[in-house]
Chain A
Amino acid sequence: MSERASVQADEADADEDEEEQAPVTTGAQSVVRALENAGAEYVFGVQGGAIMPVYDALYDSEIDHVTMAHEQGASHAADAFGIVSGEPGVCFATSGPGATNLVTGLADANMDSDPVIALTGQVPTDFVGNDAFQETDTVGITQPVTKHSYFADDADTVGTEVGEAWALANEGRQGPTLVDLPKDITKGETEIEPAPPKKPDTYDVPEEADDEDVQEAADALAAAQRPVVLAGGGVIKADAADALRDFAFEYEIPVITTMPGIGSFPEDHELSLEWAGMHGTGYANMAITNTDCMLAIGTRFDDRLTGGIDSFAPDADIVHVDIDPAEISKNVHADYPLIGDARATLRQLYDAMPSAPDADEWREQCQEWKAEYPMDYETPDDEPLKPQYVVERFSDLTPDDTIVCTGVGQHQMWASQFWEFTEPRTWVSSHGLGTMGYGAPAAIGAKLAAPDQEVVCFDGDGSFLMTVQELSVAVRENLDITYVVLNNEAVGMVRQWQDAFHEGRRMASEYPWIPEFDKLAEAFGARGFRLEEYDDVEETIQAAREYDGPSVVDAIIDPAENVYPMVPSGGDNGLFALNERHLEQL
């Protein structure tokens, strides 16, 4: 926690018993009161004309505001705060361009089911529809990328609406919500205290799955010869990682995670096959392809996971656990649909299993695949630095609960492949939307959500450059974050695809003009390091970790290094390529 934040938190504790809260007098105060009632600690935002009354009300609040350099950064920081804390992250923006700049972060949160609540200023209601200065149809723009967007039209009810938006973001399948706040509503007088956060009446949240359905699914799993668990991000969101471990350990079923599910199961455990999909491990993809019964929990079967649907787990009965009924049989048909909370349903399944599946041979087969297709790379001393080595060494040097954030690109894949994850809520990345620039602001949100945990952000040179201005925020808040830019002077994933699928025509993918990030870091007031040699890796990582504040390691890596294994888009998971020669064969 930053110094400023910790001082304020202490004051908040001291004040809590002594003073009663002053009654609200304006819509804006009601908005802030609703956030206080919900337990908000931080708001990430950018000030502006139409949101100014809300900021004015925030002036008197114990909620700590973190001024971001750009609204996109505010929405990503709120998103990461939501992932790490499990509670909605809050972001503020003004009307028009402020609100539109939030949209990328809301779309990102929507794809990954991250709890976020966005509050946007709006022009006064009399001006709405007149193309007034900094007006835009924020509700219309954000509707497709939120669980729901509210337009507040009454100072008496605006606080209750904010509470409802909070509850909606948090309950059932988590996700982003937005409340658009016209300036006359937030300035308007009211004496009505907002009601406590309560989900909308029309929003139903299932709890436990149907017992009979659970029994049928358990019987199918127990009868399987080649069972696997596929754990998605929903396992982490539902705080079901412990229930998953209990289940898998007891019934000795190998566990594969999706990429958002990383951390739900310890990757150093024998039953772990790590994660499957386009750049997942060979052994996870072999197991996915050959399983005869899959218990899939809290996953939406994204195409980056499944590859081509025709070849996805083609012999498997699918037991699909999800809290959102619309995810059942959306992409992959569920033979045993279980609608319910992941944690509750896993406990039900645990109790319902008649016996452990007879799967000794299958487990041995999975171990053989681990030996046949290890995650590997070459580290000759005389070649440029390999990015995998940097990630692996960093992972070795840090505690298990270290939080890893990333941008989007090759570096994201290397981080997810070569970092050893064992704890939930330690992997913070942009999966569904694939938002380059996610990492720099996400690390800020993650650090504030877990101030006692170490935070490292792996970014790429292209991705980091998209939101590098947020370094100024990390410096101002004195956040102890280590940024590692795996710098190959390119948008490397695009270049890899151009080489593989566009005959090496590297149109607009090489970035030889990017700045020296260590010097850029120093210009922001952060500590900068440049890393080029194998012999310097450990020393540089340790120096960056030990620096009390944000540091940036500009790691100059082998520009020829590519991400493998790889399942080409829409391909067959079992036919992953381990190198370029394999790709040509597919």
Chain B
Amino acid sequence: MPGPAPDERMRPDGRRNTQGIRIDPEAEVTHEPREAVLSALVKHEPGVLSEVSSLFSRRQFNIESLTVGPTHDDGVARMTIVIEEPQPGIEQAKKQLRKLVPTISVTELDQQNTRRELALIKVSGEKPDDVNAVADMYGGQAVDVTAESVTVELTGSKQKIDAAVGAFEQFDVQEVVRTGTAALERGADTLENDD
């Protein structure tokens, strides 16, 4: 093979970034990760949760929260998946999720969506009045009280729950369970309409 050696060959000056996007030298753009809330309607049948979670893990999408539950339609379940990815990764996650056979529709909710998380927080029962006062501050309520412990139920944004758990630490937090994020679009839009 008589051709020129590597450093003597014709080649252009351009390059691409790690996301495969051609770089404009004058305005180099990189996509920073952002949080996206994906809402998916899926068939309500065995194995679907494992299929979805296995997709997200093998594609290495950085998953923050995944919740699933039934809807008003017996055959349909709804998943809320919060991921943190650069824009191309978010697009890819949506498209891969759409490819699964049990998936009916997928939408990314806009930033103004209604998002809630439920937490149950079990703390020491030594100061029940003080616990109640803090629970009130966060719109929560005690749902189980014994001489040794108080369990408080809270709903709200992830940030609110984070703050509440921090506030309850003064009472010796014994156990916390959180559901992860469930979310719906604000206003009259529904997932079927969006898709």
Query: Do these two chains really belong together in a complex?
Result: yes
Interface set of A (CB-CB < 8 Å, partner B): 139-140, 143-144, 147-148, 151, 168, 200, 202-203, 282, 286, 289-290, 301, 309-312, 314-316, 324-326, 328-333, 335, 365, 369, 372-374, 376, 564-565, 574-579, 582, 585-586
Q: Are A168 and B15 in contact (CB under 8 A)?
A: no
Q: Are A325 and B98 in contact (CB under 8 A)?
A: yes
Residues of the B chain whose Cβ atoms lie less than 8 Å from the Cβ of A147: 101
Q: Which residue on B lies nearest to A226, using beta carbons?
A: B12
Q: Are B2 and A311 in contact (CB under 8 A)?
A: no
Q: Are B95 and A376 in contact (CB under 8 A)?
A: no
Q: Are A314 and B1 in contact (CB under 8 A)?
A: no
Q: Is B47 an interface residue (CB 8 A)?
A: yes
Name the contact of B54 in the complex, choosing from A143, A576, A577 (C-beta under 8 A): A143
Question: In this complex, which of B15, B16, B54 has the most chain A Cβ atoms within 10 angstroms of its Cβ?
Answer: B16
Name the contact of A314 in the complex, choosing from B5, B15, B58 (C-beta under 8 A): B15
Cα A101 to Cα B61 in complex, Å, equals: 29
Name the contact of A202 in the complex, choosing from B6, B46, B47, B102 (C-beta under 8 A): B102
Q: Is B187 an interface residue (CB 8 A)?
A: no
Given contacts A144-B58, A576-B6, list 11 more A-B pairs with CB under 8 A. A143-B54, A200-B101, A290-B11, A309-B16, A309-B18, A311-B16, A315-B13, A333-B22, A372-B2, A373-B1, A585-B6
Residues of the A chain whose Cβ atoms lie less than 8 Å from the Cβ of B19: 333
Residues of the A chain whose Cβ atoms lie less than 8 Å from the Cβ of B96: 326
Cα A579 to Cα B3 in complex, Å, equals: 11
Q: Are B17 and A310 in contact (CB under 8 A)?
A: yes
Q: Are A326 and B92 in contact (CB under 8 A)?
A: yes
Q: Are A314 and B10 in contact (CB under 8 A)?
A: no
Cα A177 to Cα B10 in complex, Å, equals: 46
Residues of the A chain whose Cβ atoms lie less than 8 Å from the Cβ of B166: none
Q: Is B99 an interface residue (CB 8 A)?
A: yes
Q: How many residues of B contact A (CB 8 A)?
A: 41
Can you report 18 A-B residue pairs in the complex whose CB atoms are below 8 A from each other? A140-B47, A143-B51, A202-B101, A289-B11, A290-B10, A309-B18, A309-B20, A311-B16, A314-B13, A314-B22, A315-B14, A324-B99, A326-B96, A372-B4, A373-B1, A575-B6, A578-B3, A579-B1
Residues of the B chain whose Cβ atoms lie less than 8 Å from the Cβ of A575: 6, 9
Q: Which residue on A lies nearest to B57, using beta carbons?
A: A144
Q: Which residue on A lies nearest to B1, using beta carbons?
A: A578
| Shortest distance from the beta carbon of B86 to any chain A beta carbon, whole Å | 12
| Shortest distance from the beta carbon of A73 to any chain B beta carbon, whole Å | 27
* Known contacts A168-B101, A286-B9, A289-B11: A325-B95 contact under CB 8 Å: yes
Residues of the B chain whose Cβ atoms lie less than 8 Å from the Cβ of A139: 47
Q: Are B20 and A329 in contact (CB under 8 A)?
A: yes
Q: Which residue on A lies nearest to B2, using beta carbons?
A: A372
Q: Is B149 an interface residue (CB 8 A)?
A: no
Residues of the B chain whose Cβ atoms lie less than 8 Å from the Cβ of A329: 20, 88, 91-92
| Shortest distance from the beta carbon of B114 to any chain A beta carbon, whole Å | 26
* Known contacts A200-B101, A314-B15, A374-B1: A582-B20 contact under CB 8 Å: no
Residues of the B chain whose Cβ atoms lie less than 8 Å from the Cβ of A290: 10-12
Q: Is B104 an interface residue (CB 8 A)?
A: yes
Q: Is B7 an interface residue (CB 8 A)?
A: yes
Q: Are A314 and B14 in contact (CB under 8 A)?
A: yes
Cα A402 to Cα B2 in complex, Å, equals: 32
Cα A577 to Cα B7 in complex, Å, equals: 11
Q: Which residue on B lies nearest to A377, using beta carbons?
A: B1
Q: Is B176 an interface residue (CB 8 A)?
A: no
